[in-house]
Every structure is written in structure tokens, then in C-alpha cells.
């Protein structure tokens, strides 16, 4: 917070005139260099600044991908359950959704293979790390298998990696794109690791695809907020992002463990998620019912809980309220 304020002051004192003018659609070059360098250093991915496009958070990447690749009736693949923001963004372009069950360690591989072999989907959209809403992470074996199946069928993979840096076990996750350099669009975001209110994320893709993103981005809103790109970059050069994400991940990990423990302790099984949602609102505890995450039906017995944006007191109080709601419904 104070760090962002310092960075803002410096940018506006030193380079304010540039920060407030029109800029290029691809994004602030030093920020793109920082992102590419970080991929090389952290994950051994051979990223170049020309393969990075700055966007307004992961959500705009969803919209630009849809804008570039989808026409009404096109087929796309995604996980079941799937990320609601993606379902909403894609739905406006009226594709046909095909889902593959997301198991504990990644997609059901035989269903996945059957889908991409049966029909040419424009892309398969997946969230291999801490998927929203399931929280599941693909195993190394499933990452390899997914890459092989996609490569064999020449299918594009849209790898949404908004959470890739926030793992709780100390082991960095290697993107599927590492095994599929020419066939994967990898998107990332500063929302979860620095600040969502700045709306700054990025796309990492082969240059031929990045050129299409440049055109779509220009048509969408010319370029992302340039002042904030400069403030963010200044902040990043003054702070150790690795250390920061480790602290954030550790705090999220504690919240997650607390919530899971309370789930085990407090909750009886077997109630309708929509009923929990409605009764929860009445008793001031908000949950996300599972239904909207299933484009082809299902999710009635699922809810999504949020452990990242709450302190331990709120989690404890919320879980006790939720237990009361659910016990009242059993």
C-alpha cells in the first residue's frame, strides 16, 4: 500500500507527462520485460517481451480470446465445473460448450482425449492451478498427458494461470505451456499478487497470436491504463515480488486450512446449494452456489467458499453461521 503510493509519487514526479498520454496497445515495454524475465527466471520458460500483451486483468484476456477465436456455434472445451467468469465472457459469443470432468488431479483424460479427437474445438480452456471454483490443481502426470493429447490433435490450449504463484506446498507449478510452446496461450494477473483494483494482467503467447491480440486490444480499448502500468512497474522494481507472493500464499494457506478444518468439524452432508445460498443471505453468510459453474447442468450439491479475502475471525464466525444454516436445512 505505502509501496504503491511511493511508486505513484515517483512516476508522476519523474515521468508524469508520458504516463498520462496515449500509449501503444501492447503495453508498457519495461513491464512486459519484467514479466518475460520472471517467466525465464522462475519457470525456465523462454518468454520474450514481444510475446507478452498487457490486458485489464485475466477477465479481459477471456474476452479478447473469445473476440479473436469465436464465432457463433463454434465448439470450445472446458473443465466441469468451469470458471464462471470464463463461461460469462465466452457465452456472449454464443459458442457450443463441451465439458470434461475435472477430477482431483486434473481432467478425466479419456473424456478429454475423446473430446478433442471427436471434433475440432477452437481451444480448450483450463485452469491447471487452484482452479476456480474447485480449488483443484493438475498433477505433473496429467499436465504431461494433456500437453501430449493437445499436441497430437493440434488443439490450442488456453491456460488461465491467475493463481499459479499462490501455492501452499512450496513447489512451483510448471505451466502446460512449457510442453506446448506454440499451441498455448498463458494468461496471468497482478490482481491476486499485487492489487486487483489496478486491473493489470497479461497474455503470454506465440508472436503470431500476440499480433492478433494487439489488433483486438486496440479495438477493445486502445491500451490498458498507462499510468497504472508505470506505477505497477515502479513498484515491482522497488519490491521483492517473490518474497511478497510467498507471504500472501502462506496467509492464504492458513485461511484455507482453517476453513477446511471447520468444514470437517461443523458441516453435515447433503443439502441443496441453492437453499444454502438463499438461507445464508438471510443469516448474513454468503456462499456461491455450484450451479452456475456447470454449463450443462449439475452442481446442486456444491458451494464455493472464499478464504482469501477474510481474516481468521471472519472465517471462524462465517463457518459457524454456515453450519447453523445447513443444520437448519438437513
Residue span binding a copy of itself (CB under 8 A) among the ranges 43-51, 96-104, 173-181, 225-233: 225-233
| Binding residue (CB under 8 A) for a copy of itself from 1, 208, 243, 330 | 1
The three-class DSSP label of residue 93 is coil
| Residue 219 interacts with a copy of itself (CB under 8 A): yes or no | yes
| Binding residue (CB under 8 A) for a copy of itself from 78, 198, 203, 209 | 198
Q: How far is the CB of 258 from a copy of itself (least distance, A)?
A: 22
Contact 180, 199 (CB under 8 A): no
Smaller CB separation from a copy of itself, 138 or 252: 252
Residue span binding a copy of itself (CB under 8 A) among the ranges 108-116, 132-140, 222-230, 265-273: 222-230
| Residue 328 interacts with a copy of itself (CB under 8 A): yes or no | no
Q: Provide the sign of the torsion angle of the four alpha carbons 216, 219, 222, 228, taken in this order.
A: negative
Q: How far is the CB of 71 from a copy of itself (least distance, A)?
A: 7
Q: How many CB atoms lie within 10 A of CB 192?
A: 22
| Binding residue (CB under 8 A) for a copy of itself from 30, 50, 181, 196 | 196
Number of residues counted as binding a copy of itself (CB under 8 A): 49
Q: How far is the CB of 247 from a copy of itself (least distance, A)?
A: 16
Q: What string marks each residue from 80 to 99 as x (binds a copy of itself by CB under 8 A) or -? A: -----x--xx-xx-------
Q: How far is the CB of 159 from a copy of itself (least distance, A)?
A: 19
| Residue 197 interacts with a copy of itself (CB under 8 A): yes or no | yes
Contact 100, 138 (CB under 8 A): no
| Residue 203 interacts with a copy of itself (CB under 8 A): yes or no | no
| Residue 308 interacts with a copy of itself (CB under 8 A): yes or no | no
Q: Provide the sign of the torsion angle of the four alpha carbons 175, 178, 184, 188, taken in this order.
A: positive
Q: How far is the CB of 235 from a copy of itself (least distance, A)?
A: 11
| Residue 70 interacts with a copy of itself (CB under 8 A): yes or no | no
H/E element, 317: helix 312-329
Q: How far is the CB of 72 from a copy of itself (least distance, A)?
A: 7
Question: How far is it, in rounded angstroms, from Cα 239 to Cα 103?
Answer: 37
Cα 267 from chain centroid (whole Å): 29
| Residue 17 interacts with a copy of itself (CB under 8 A): yes or no | yes
| Residue 32 interacts with a copy of itself (CB under 8 A): yes or no | no
Q: What is the DSSP letter of 267?
A: P
Q: How far is the CB of 274 from a copy of itself (least distance, A)?
A: 21
Cis peptide before 21 (omega within 30 of 0): no
Question: How far is it, in rounded angstroms, from Cα 153 to Cα 112?
Answer: 11
Measure Cα distances from 242 to 5, 166, 193 in Å.
20, 10, 10
Question: How far is it, in rounded angstroms, from Cα 77 to Cα 124?
Answer: 4
Torsion from C-alpha of 262, 263, 265, 269, nearest 10 degrees: 160
| Binding residue (CB under 8 A) for a copy of itself from 223, 233, 234, 304 | 223
Exposed / middle / buried, residue 311 (Cβ in 10 Å: 0-12, 13-18, 19+): exposed
| Residue 60 interacts with a copy of itself (CB under 8 A): yes or no | yes
| Binding residue (CB under 8 A) for a copy of itself from 182, 221, 242, 261 | 221
Measure Cα distances from 243 to 3, 79, 240, 318 in Å.
14, 32, 5, 30
Interface residues toward a copy of itself, by CB under 8 A: 1, 4-5, 8-9, 12-13, 16-23, 55-57, 59-60, 62-63, 67, 71-72, 85, 88-89, 91-92, 191, 195-199, 216, 218-228, 231
Amino acid at each position: 500500500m505505502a509501496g504503491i503510493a511511493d511508486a505513484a509519487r515517483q512516476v508522476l514526479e519523474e515521468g508524469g507527462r508520458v504516463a498520462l498520454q496515449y500509449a501503444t496497445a501492447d503495453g508498457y515495454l519495461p513491464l512486459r520485460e519484467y514479466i518475460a524475465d520472471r517467466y525465464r527466471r522462475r519457470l525456465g520458460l523462454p518468454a520474450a517481451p514481444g510475446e507478452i500483451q498487457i490486458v485489464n486483468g485475466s477477465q479481459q484476456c477471456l474476452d479478447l480470446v473469445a473476440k479473436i477465436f469465436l464465432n457463433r456455434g463454434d465448439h470450445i472445451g472446458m473443465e466441469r465445473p468451469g470458471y464462471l467468469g470464463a463461461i460469462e465472457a465466452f457465452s456472449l459469443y454464443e459458442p457450443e460448450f463441451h465439458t470434461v470432468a475435472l477430477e482431483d488431479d486434473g481432467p478425466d483424460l479419456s473424456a478429454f482425449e475423446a473430446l478433442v479427437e471427436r471434433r475440432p474445438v477452437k481451444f480448450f480452456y483450463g485452469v491447471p492451478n487452484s482452479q476456480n471454483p474447485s480449488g483443484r490443481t493438475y498433477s505433473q502426470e496429467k499436465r504431461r498427458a494433456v500437453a501430449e493429447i493437445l499436441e497430437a490433435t493440434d488443439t490450442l490450449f488456453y491456460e488461465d494461470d491467475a493463481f499459479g504463484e499462490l501455492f501452499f506446498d512450496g513447489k512451483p507449478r510448471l505451466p502446460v505451456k512449457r510442453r506446448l510452446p506454440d499451441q498455448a496461450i498463458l494468461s496471468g494477473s497482478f490482481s491476486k499478487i499485487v492489487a486487483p483494483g489496478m486491473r493489470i494482467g497479461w497474455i503470454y503467447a506465440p508472436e503470431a497470436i500476440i499480433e492478433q491480440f494487439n489488433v483486438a486490444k486496440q479495438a477493445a480499448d486502445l491500451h490498458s491504463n498507462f499510468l497504472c502500468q508505470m506505477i505497477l512497474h515502479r513498484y515491482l522494481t522497488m519490491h521483492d515480488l517473490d518474497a511478497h507472493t510467498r507471504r500472501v500464499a502462506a496467509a492464504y494457506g492458513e485461511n484455507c486450512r482453517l476453513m477446511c478444518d471447520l468444514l470437517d468439524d461443523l458441516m453435515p452432508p447433503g443439502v441443496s446449494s441453492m437453499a444454502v445460498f438463499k438461507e445464508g443471505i438471510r443469516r448474513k453468510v454468503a456462499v456461491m452456489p455450484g450451479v452456475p459453474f456447470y454449463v450443462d447442468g449439475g452442481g446442486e450439491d456444491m458451494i464455493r467458499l472464499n478464504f482469501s479475502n477474510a481474516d481468521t475471525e471472519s472465517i471462524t464466525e462465517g463457518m459457524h453461521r454456515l453450519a447453523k444454516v445447513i443444520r437448519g436445512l438437513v
